[in-house]
Chains A and B, each alone.
Chain A
């Protein structure tokens, strides 16, 4: 799954550590999501969307294959 997390974070000039604090997850988790190595759970995705005041689908989108 691709996502816009790094871009959105950069727009707000937040560090990964700062974002991880706001989300209540580890910095490793934020990094893994940004690099596409880890797909967040639905509750965490909702939390991210709420934090950035966007819809989930504006932040996360499936890969070209259509598989999540």
Chain B
């Protein structure tokens, strides 16, 4: 019979694997869309853009499962990680919004595809900080 610790570890590994699949599918979809030419209203292009949603949903499912099985310290670490990441994400978007009012931003440098990766980076950074605190 699988112990609680092994069960937690297994769920964490599954979430991690799906997270990797999600990131790979994102870059795959991005490369495919870039090779398909300029953005235009085309169902095929939209479907390709939505492909990473599937592994993301699997990742989210596994992550929630992992969190439900997590012990109290892991839950606290995740809470502290979000407490760090969420305000950072807010301040990033606020600063970009204000800078955009101050001066035109080049969409080739600052668009959704450039900004969203900061959010998981903040989350992972928050986890690293919180984890270090309890080591």
Contacts and interface: CB of A to CB of B under 8 A. Distances in A.
B14 interface: no
Nearest to A30: B73
Q: Which of B3, B8, B72, B73 has the most A CB atoms < 10 Å from its CB?
A: B73
Contacts of B3: 21
Contact of A32 (B4, B5, B8, B134): B134
B114 interface: no
Contacts of B74: 26, 28-29
Contacts of A46: none
23 contacts: A20-B5, A21-B3, A21-B4, A21-B5, A24-B5, A25-B72, A25-B73, A26-B71, A26-B74, A28-B73, A28-B134, A28-B135, A29-B72, A29-B73, A29-B74, A31-B135, A37-B133, A37-B135, A38-B73, A38-B76, A38-B134, A40-B72, A41-B72
Given A25-B73, A29-B72, 11 more contacts: A26-B5, A26-B8, A26-B73, A26-B74, A28-B134, A29-B74, A31-B135, A32-B73, A37-B133, A37-B135, A41-B72
Interface of B: 3-5, 8, 71-74, 76, 133-135
Contacts, number: 38
A38 B134 CA distance: 7
B69 to A, nearest CB: 10
Contacts of B72: 25, 29, 40-41, 44
Interface string A3-41: 000000000000000001100111111011000011011
